[in-house]
Amino acid sequence: MKIQEDARYAKSDEWVRVEGQVAVVGISDYAQEKLGDIVFVGDIAVGSELKAGDLLTSVESVKAASDIYSPVSGKVVEVNSEVVAKPELVNSDAFGAGWLAKIELSNPAEVNSLMSAAEYAEYRKD
Amino acid sequence: MLDRVGLKFEDIISCVQGNACVEGGLRLPDGLTEEEMVQEWDLIMSRNSTPKKASLMGGGAYMHFVPAVVPHLAGQPGFVTAYTPYQPELSQGTLQSLFEYQSFIVELTDMELSNCSMYDGASSAAEAMLMAHRIKHAPRILAADNVNPAYLATVRTYSEPHGIAIETVPTDESGQVSRAELERLLSAAPCSAVLVQSPNYFGIIEDLTALGNLAHAHDALFVECFTEAMALGLLKYGLGTGADIVVGDAQSLGLPMSFGGPHLGVFATLRKFNREFPGRIVGESVDTEGRQAYVMTLRAREQDIRREKATSNICSNHALNAITAAVYLASVGQDGFRSLACESAAKLQKLVRGLEATGRFSPVFKGGAVFNEMVLASSLAPDELRARLAAVPVIPPLVLPSGMVPGVAGMPHSYLVCASELLKDALLEQVIAALS
Amino acid sequence: MTLYDKSVAGRCAFSFSFEEDEARAESCIPDYARAGVKSLPEVSELDLVRHFTNLATVNYGVDTGFYPLGSCTMKYNPKINERLAADPRLTMRHPLDDVSENQGVLQMEYELKESLEEITGMDDFTLQPACGAHGELTGMLIIHAYMRDHDPRRTRVLIPDSAHGTNPASASMAGFQVVTVPSDERGGVDMEALDHLMDDTVAAIMLTNPNTVGLFDENITRISELVHARGGLLYYDGANLNALMGLIRPGDLGFDVVHLNLHKTFSTPHGGGGPGAAPVGVKQFLAEYLPVPIVVQRDGQYALDSDRPRSIGRMSAFYGNTGVLARAFVYIRMMGRDGLAAASRAAVINANYVKKLLAPYYPPAYDRPVMHETVLSAKGYDKYGVSLLDIAKRLMDYGYHPPTIYFPHFPPHAEEVMMIEPTESESRETLDAFCDALIRISKEAQEQPDLLLSAPHNTVVTRVNETYAARHLVTSQRDKKGIG
């Protein structure tokens, strides 16, 4: 299981990496491994306003479907169209090319309540 | 057997004891031998009337010619006694046949995606309404009031617990759904879907393109429905008329009427809704040796994975009937299917002309184009009509309840009259003679 | 090769004497006519016969061999059922024809209804639902309508975590919110959790008994009393009734609504995914909610009654899958009172026999006698790099259909398990040979794991790439043309 050091993590296995006022959101390497081959990433509407914990999208593997929740509050400003066309990017590079959306933070302090890399590694150690 | 493994039946079922067990056995008759069963069956079935050669009755179930290869091939034990194809290595027969069925339905409905069947046309229509509601969220659906009444009733049953209101759009004097009324109702409040049947319950072909445009102008999905799959050989549906979903019943494709079931529900839609549609679907893939192989796909929508969030609870569908339809379509071929559709349409025209000539029948809706069904008013009461046809080997036409269609002076009764390729000229003449 | 690959322009398998002028028919509907039917394959009759005969041959059915698919009850489908159900006096009936023409078929349906009432201990039945999930939806809609009239606060339905996925999906489709009840370590409903969850917002609990892991819940009478005492109803999923015929009846246990799978318990063939039939039975106080129409008997004549103002309405265009109902009718008549009880007894004996023979190699997930199916674990084989899937695939090489595996929502203490349901149809010799195969596979797993990992070898295709199918969606010839 890979862990991205500069990201923070939600209990439902999403990660965020803050770049200025914007948070990049994806699912963790642990989550992609659990799901298996990802075959579909659902639509995310650019411009939608989300609260932390709101449904962001869903991803599907052959044998499972998983809802993905936004770990932070804010407005969706960009969606990774490449991952919609090539869902396998989530498997091959969950923290990089497999990112899902960028969210303009409305409450940057929320990020601090998410787990650090070390805390997440502990949380998901099997 | 239990001795060998050191068990006693009484111990096994001790968990059941203490609950209310059956005492003295079930109150059912003793079993029959196969030979006795044949006798008993014959006794019961002899209480039905003799099968007829053709049917003047349609309204959702249709009698057509079925080539001998159809029941023969679809009745092969490999198809009949298999389970749902969860293990593709042992189920290529079912899977490939369903892929071919899907291919044929995509062509005939002119859509992008067909599932591998629903139960019947009515439940397909109902599932289409739930799907439209999932996509558009508006708790309101407009359905033409000339959709088959049993389909409308099923749509209501499915929609009721979700708080989806089903409002009907009236039929105008031509027998088509009123476009002015549809537009008025669409403008009144948001709506998830517009459901239209063509040919409609009265046999009239709807102007699907015009209706679809109206639905889309008001951000509703346009759902086209058919009860007589033979119409797919002659009429336009799907992409060509702006459909988002095409549903219907394909009993006509090689399946017997069988007192109403099992029939075959068709469900076809657009590729963009491939995460939203109900039911199973087969996809083409490869095996580890790179050979072409088939497998159920898009499974993550389904109940066994998504449970209460599934797009539908449908599990078993009518796979064997889908295979039957595929065999039927391949058997009659593209030219044969077209010719059969034309033959049915032409037979209706001939029948109606003959009936009009008796002076006892007259079309209720003038001018509307029809396929193989039509509403005729008549001076003959149902009992008399049935009595006159008693000696002719046809099922009499469907009696419509009074008030369902506009009246015609001097002809207080109305019938939904149906024809097919089985109404050969000699038989047709017998019908006309009996009613003259 | 698909039929499209075998298509040659101008070939035709159809022989029919047309009497009408095609062009004239087309001219009657000029505005709406399509340009013609294109893209159906054109094949000769012999090509067609060989195509589908070969496809049927590569398909595995109960007629091919042992099919121990847990929870699916793949028992033998007697051929007399097929022959009688193909009687034209049945198949050529128009559903809307006058009932006087259809007295025989209505009598058959009425008598089937009566038999099912006796077998289950219920008061009334609808024969309309087309398969198990449709039956569940019908039953839950009945409960929904009843609660709307009597106690509209009750909007939630309790479902055990071991339940089949259709249960929550059906409850949700019927407008209920689903609440999961955990299983206890014995595989039954956790009584403490039930006690905690069963409040005045709960409309019903949906149960299968024996449950999905083949265990009879001994607490069933206590569950029934608890749920009823707090104003809820009990729904019985009849998927596993094959264990209980003539022994115990869901109606006597307190169930208010049941559905039966005629394509499981009552020997009608599954058809590679239907059509089935799933009659729904109810206690008298719910009878007025059954879907219309209902077959009734009045003065020796059979009729269809639609005059039921509180009915949930229609579930389909007509009256259900008559062709399937006919097969179940024949089965029940031929089995009779003692035959049905003997079938259930044999099904239970067979499951326990297989469990005992295989226990040293595949330990039972629950160490107590099972009813009609047994759940065995393959967890120990991961140390050889072999998964349950590999074991299942290897079984195909021995000529068997694998049991149910990876039932997605097994309780957590039952991972990597297979669910074996032998049914009463199978002989001791068949069961011995099947167990031998699984025991040999157990050895192979330790000595030649590659044999399992690459299995199956003897099937028409090897493992099919599901990921490829999902990522490169091709579900019709039109898709193929688009891609090609």
Query: Domain boundaries in chain A?
Result: 8-123
pLDDT over threshold 80, residue C32: no
Please, what is the angle between helix C322-358 and helix B34-45, to 10°? 150
Nearest Cβ partner of B261 from C36, C72, C318?
C318
Predicted pLDDT at C412? 52
Pairing of strands B413-418, B398-399: antiparallel
Select the residue of C77, C248, C474 nearest B16 (Cβ to Cβ).
C248
Average pLDDT (C267-271) is: 98
Cβ neighbours, 10 Å, residue B81: 22
Averaged confidence pLDDT in chain B: 96
- DSSP state, B33? -
Q: Give the integer Cα–Cα distance in Å for C244 and B21.
A: 10
Q: According to the model, what pLDDT value does residue A98 have?
A: 95
What are the phi and psi torsion angles at B290 (to 5°)?
85, 10
Bridge partners of residue C13, in order along the sequence: none
- Only one residue has tokens 């037979």, namely B347
What is the predicted pLDDT for the residue at B103?
98
d(CA B382, CA B387): 8
CB atoms within 10 A of CB A1: 14
* Across C208-224, average pLDDT: 91
CA pseudo-torsion sign B186, B192, B196, B201 = negative
**What gap in Å lies between CA B85 and CA C67, rounded to an integer?**
12
Q: What span, in angstroms and rounded, lies between the C-alpha atoms of B176 and C81? A: 45
Nearby residues of A40 by Cβ (< 8 Å), 6 or more positions away? A59, A60, A87, B275, B300, C470
Q: What is the pTM of this model?
A: 0.96
The predicted-structure confidence for B178-219, as pLDDT tens digits, reads as follows 999 999 999 999 999 999 999 999 999 999 999 999 999 999
Q: What tens digit of pLDDT does each residue of C106-164 get? A: 999 999 999 999 999 999 999 999 999 999 999 999 999 999 999 999 999 999 988 88
Q: Minimal CA–CA distance to B98: which of B87, B114, B86, B119?
A: B114
Residue found under tokens 């749902």: B84
First to last CA, chain C: 16
CA B184 to chain centre: 30
Give the mean pLDDT of C73-82.
Answer: 98
HEC profile of chain A: CCCCCCCEECCCCEEEEEECCEEEEEECHHHHHHHCCEEEECCCCCCCEECCCCEEEEEEECCCEEEEECCCCEEEEEECHHHHHCCHHHHHCCCCCCCCEEEEECCHHHHHHCECHHHHHHHCCC
Cβ–Cβ gap B300/A42 under 8 Å = no
pLDDT of A91 above 80: yes
Q: Which residue from C410, C414, C391, C392 is spatially nearest to C401, judged by alpha carbons?
A: C392
Q: Could you give phi then psi for residue C243, rounded to 5 degrees? A: -80, -20
Instruction: Using the predicted structure, report yes or no on whether residue C61 has a pLDDT greater than 80.
Output: yes
Instruction: Evaluate if residue B90 carries a pLDDT over 60.
Output: yes
> What SS3 class is residue C33?
strand
DSSP C298-312: ETTEEEEE---TT--
Q: What is the pLDDT of residue B300?
A: 83
Query: Rounded to 5 degrees, what are φ and ψ at C277?
Result: -160, 140
Q: Using DSSP bridges, classify how beta strands C124-126 and B140-144 pair: parallel, antiparallel or unpaired.
A: unpaired
Verify cis geometry, omega within 30 degrees of 0, for the bond prior to B262: yes
Cβ within 8 Å, pair A63-C470: no
Other Cβ atoms closer than 10 A to C229: 9
B275:A63 CB<8 A: no
Instruction: Mention every residue, 6+ apart, whose C-beta is less than 8 A from residue A62.
Output: A36, A37, A39, B299, B300, C466, C467, C470
> Cβ distance B235 to B207 under 8 Å?
no
* Contact across the interface for B60 and C318, Cβ inside 8 Å: yes
State the Cα–Cα distance between residues B425 and A2, nearest whole angstrom: 77
Range ranked top by mean pLDDT from B295-304, C199-208, C474-483: C199-208
Task: State the CATH class of domain A8-123.
Answer: mainly beta
In this prediction, residues C223-242 reach a mean pLDDT of 97
* Residue of C324, C461, C466, C479 to mutate, testing the B interface (most B Cβ within 10 Å of its Cβ): C461
Selected for mutation to probe chain B from A35, A37, A38, A40 (highest B CB count within 10 Å) is A40
Q: Residue C483's pLDDT is what?
A: 58
- Measured in angstroms, the CA of A11 and the nearest CA of chain C are apart by 20
Provide the CB-side half-sphere exposure for B359 (13 A, CA).
Answer: 1
Scanning every residue of chain B, which has its alpha carbon at the shortest distance from the alpha carbon of C312?
B157
CA separation for the pair B299, B251 (Å, rounded): 26
- Report whether pLDDT(C409) > 70: no
Residue C258, pLDDT > 70, answer yes
pLDDT in tens, C442-454: 999 999 999 999 9
What does the pLDDT read at residue C484? 45
Q: What residues form DSSP beta bridges with B248?
A: B226, B266
What pLDDT is recorded for position C156?
A: 98
C29 has pLDDT over 80: no
Give the position of tokens 């639509």: A43
Nearest to C208 by CA among C142, C176, C253: C253
**207-266 in chain C: CB under 8 A from chain B:** 215-216, 218, 220-221, 244-249, 252-253, 263
Residues of B in contact with C312 (CB under 8 A): 157, 160
Across the A:C interface, residue pairs with CB atoms under 8 Å apart total 15
pLDDT at B4 over 70: yes
Average pLDDT taken over every residue of chain C: 94
Chain B positions in Cβ-Cβ contact with residue A62 (cut-off 8 Å):
299-300
Residue C182 CA from chain centroid, whole number = 24
